Amino acid sequence: MKAQTALTGLVSVAALLPDVSASVVVIRDPSVEQAAAEALAVPLAALKRAAPEAPNGYVPTAVDCPSDRPTIREATTISNNETEWLYVRRNNTVSAMRNLLGRMNITGLDTNSYIDSAANNVSALPNIAIAGSGGGYRALMNYAGAVAAFDNRTSNSTGAGQLGGLLQSSTYLAGLSGGSWLVGSLFMNNFSSVENILTQDTSGSNSGGTWQFGNSILEGPESSHLQILSTADYLKDIYDTVQDKNDAGYETTITDYWGRALSYQLINSSMGGPAYTFSSIADSDQFRAGNTPMPIFVADGRARGQLVIDGNATVYEMNPWELGSFDPTTYAFAPMRYLGSNFSDGMVVQGDKQCVRGFDNAGYIMGTSSSLFNQAFLQINGSTGLINEALTAVLANIGQDNDDIANYPNPFFGVNNATSRVASTDQLTLVDGGEDLQNIPLHPLIQPVRNVDVIFAIDSSADTTADNGGANWPNGTALVATYQRSFLPIANGTSFPSIPDQQTFVNLGLNNRPTFFGCDASNTTHMTPLIVYIPNAPYVYHSNVSTYDLQYNDTERNYIIENGYNIATLGNGTLDSEWPTCVGCAILSRSLGRTNTQVPDVCNQCFQRYCWDGTRNSTLNTTYEPPYKLAKNDVLSFSSGGLQGAVPSLAFAVSAVAAVMMIM
């Protein structure tokens, strides 16, 4: 009875709405025994986690260089660190993939024997990646629902109609902007499951969960273990830590404040973990043992003073070992642990303590991938009646001072001088990775050197507008942008499946249900991954809240995560009982081709059902208001743009940011 009472797992729709139609499948209903086992397991997970490895809190600090002094490498291949880690990780995916595919009823193929055989030939083994788009808290929560569905640690995620184990079978887990918050938060908290992070802190004590979004990021957390008593204390702490970095000689920007604020909501540590570094992931026990996928974030390069980012922008990736780009406009990688060091011509300048540690603050890296302030300026400056002249002036000053970017001492100074856009500047300036419209972090995953077979692309983009009916739903723009970029010289040998225009996405419903792109690998110039496109849609909740909404109570949070779970599982198989089978076929598709294995009939049927067949319909249609896919009762109030009155306005958000910068 006590275990049942203490059960505080992910809240299901049925639990929140007792009178919901019976057609809504309850996805998680753990038994008393399961609940007790999970509760006991949490304290046992005392492995070394991503850690506060910075020598001086948030302030980057000069240290003695190691004997093998850090250098910049060219982007001809992946790093030695990643290569060595892949041997361990790929081997560890075999058991999970075997179990996953064994449950997927792929008749006509002995998946156990196939995976056992592939285990002895890594080139035959399916290579899986998961990518979550940007879109603020909407993206974090929708992506969290999908990741929970893919995680075999989630209660009942390995039953009929479920996809638990796909996360454990994956090699890469990528995030952009809000998607990076989800990935970063999981890794900074010992790669906790979504289910546990909602209810328990990393020490195992029930505290209502790490993700407490009821207090806006502009107000600060209420949780006492974060040692914040008031909004004033919270804002002062953010200001003081950023000012310390500035006083140490580093040019700080609005992204420093943004990243510090994010840390309070995403990292379960006192004062938002100011000493937690992104590179510390590489030292964590779980990651080193290959028990987790590899996290990758994406940001765009943006020249100072530039506001609009085009499709030709340099795309940078950030992983536990490196920051850099495969694009010919940089074509180099720098060691993540030593960002902030005095690099020139590919080497740290000789001298006493010229290596720097701590610049790769975890919150700052997440903030870099989500630095949207220049886009906020564009949105407001092009509108009327949204905010007063004083607030517009604040944003204008931020832009004029080039504070609306993430600023890095440029590690690529003097590197690839003939082709690099940044070789002659002492600062590397980065912004939100979706500003070039590639709002899904596909770029690192389509690099030929990574040999990814299938990408599960979770799209929480806000492409549609209220003018079309329903705002803040995706319409395929992210895929279109990546496809169009593949024809530019900057693509540098990468390939991408053919993608139709956005109006076709809407007219054919491709933005409202899962669709496979690139099913016929022979139609691409170079080998490209199969894209399993999973767009945000209203299954049990209108999850199309604004990117600039910054506050959600626990019920709203859980609803959006629940909706994301249903998106990934098609309502736990309610909408298609063969969906898990089709996911299995997508996982195996490229591998079957490499091994000349006959494609089972059930997979051919899946491909006929889910693969885009090349049909286009660009007829202009201005109405897009997607209906619920699963029955629900009208218990809560909804609007076409999300919850009514649930969150502060963008004007309030910018005002609070300005207030932070003016403290003291």
pLDDT at 16 over 60: no
Tallying the residues shown for the chain, one arrives at 664
Neighbours of 619 (CB within 10 A): 9
- pLDDT number for residue 207: 52
Reported as a single tens digit per residue, the pLDDT across 164-192 is: 999 999 999 999 999 999 999 999 999 99
pLDDT at 70 over 50: yes
Model confidence band, residue 272 (pLDDT cutoffs 50, 70, 90) = confident
Least confident of 18-32, 116-130, 424-438, 538-552: 18-32
- pLDDT number for residue 466: 80
Interatomic CA distance for residues 398 and 262, integer angstroms: 20
Beta-strand pair 61-63/315-318: unpaired
- pLDDT number for residue 216: 81
- pLDDT number for residue 31: 38
Mean pLDDT on 111-137: 93
- pLDDT number for residue 445: 98
Model confidence band, residue 651 (pLDDT cutoffs 50, 70, 90) = very low
Q: Give the residue with greater pLDDT, 390 vs 94.
A: 94
Contact criterion met (CB below 8 Å) for 434 and 344: no
Mean pLDDT on 31-57: 49
For the chain, domain boundaries: 2-662
pLDDT at 628 over 50: yes
Least confident of 42-51, 369-378, 500-509, 538-547: 42-51
Mean pLDDT on 217-244: 76
Model confidence band, residue 112 (pLDDT cutoffs 50, 70, 90) = very high
- pLDDT number for residue 21: 30
Mean pLDDT on 608-613: 97
Beta bridge partners of 318: 297, 323
- pLDDT number for residue 392: 56
- pLDDT number for residue 2: 30
Least confident of 136-145, 276-285, 347-356, 405-414: 347-356
% of the chain exceeding 90 in pLDDT: 63
Mean pLDDT of the chain: 83
- pLDDT number for residue 473: 96
pLDDT at 658 over 60: no
Beta bridge partners of 407: 429
Mean pLDDT on 236-250: 91
pLDDT at 278 over 80: yes
**DSSP code per residue over 298-353:** EEEE--TT-----TTSPEEEE-SSEEEESSTTT-EEEEGGGTTS-EETTEEPSSTT
pLDDT at 162 over 90: yes
Residues 6 or more apart whose CB falls under 8 angstroms from that of 99 comprise: 152, 158, 165
- pLDDT number for residue 238: 87
Please state the three-class secondary structure of 613-625 as a single string.
CCCCCCCCCCCEC
Model confidence band, residue 232 (pLDDT cutoffs 50, 70, 90) = confident
- pLDDT number for residue 121: 84
Q: Which two tokens stand for residue 579?
A: 């969906």
pLDDT at 657 over 70: no
Mean pLDDT on 94-107: 96
pLDDT at 646 over 80: no
pLDDT at 50 over 80: no
Q: Which of 9, 20, 27 is nearest to 564 (CA)?
A: 27
Reported as a single tens digit per residue, the pLDDT across 433-444 is: 999 999 999 999
Contact criterion met (CB below 8 Å) for 355 and 338: yes
pTM of the predicted protein model: 0.87
Neighbours of 653 (CB within 10 A): 19
Mean pLDDT on 632-637: 39
Interatomic CA distance for residues 109 and 339, integer angstroms: 48
Interatomic CA distance for residues 39 and 196, integer angstroms: 9
Interatomic CA distance for residues 187 and 261, integer angstroms: 18
Beta bridge partners of 459: 535
Mean pLDDT on 11-27: 31
- pLDDT number for residue 616: 96
- pLDDT number for residue 379: 57
Contact criterion met (CB below 8 Å) for 370 and 258: yes
Contact criterion met (CB below 8 Å) for 265 and 212: yes
Interatomic CA distance for residues 554 and 352, integer angstroms: 51
Interatomic CA distance for residues 320 and 296, integer angstroms: 8
Reported as a single tens digit per residue, the pLDDT across 561-580 is: 999 999 999 999 999 999 99
Opening angle at CA 25, ends 20 and 26, nearest 5: 85
Mean pLDDT on 5-24: 30
Say which residue the tokens 């049990």 belong to: 540
Interatomic CA distance for residues 192 and 213, integer angstroms: 18
Opening angle at CA 408, ends 179 and 398, nearest 5: 80
% of the chain exceeding 70 in pLDDT: 79
CA distances from 140 to 66, 144, 320, 598 (A): 37, 6, 20, 39
Model confidence band, residue 253 (pLDDT cutoffs 50, 70, 90) = confident
Interatomic CA distance for residues 164 and 539, integer angstroms: 19
For 232, half-sphere exposure in the C-beta direction (CA atoms, 13 angstrom radius) is 1
Mean pLDDT on 339-360: 90
Given this structure, which CATH class describes domain 2-662? alpha beta
For 57, left (φ over 0), alpha (ψ -120 to 50), or beta?
left
Interatomic CA distance for residues 592 and 599, integer angstroms: 7
- pLDDT number for residue 234: 84
Q: Which of 211, 362, 213 is nearest to 297 (CA)?
A: 362
Q: Which two tokens stand for residue 220?
A: 């600060």
Least confident of 76-80, 118-122, 163-167: 118-122
Reported as a single tens digit per residue, the pLDDT across 419-470 is: 999 999 999 999 999 999 999 999 999 999 999 999 999 999 999 988 766 8
pLDDT at 24 over 80: no
> Would you call 527 exposed, middle or buried from its count of C-beta atoms within 10 A (0-12, 13-18, 19+)?
middle
Reported as a single tens digit per residue, the pLDDT across 503-536 is: 999 999 999 999 999 998 776 667 899 999 999 9
For 288, left (φ over 0), alpha (ψ -120 to 50), or beta?
alpha
- pLDDT number for residue 644: 29
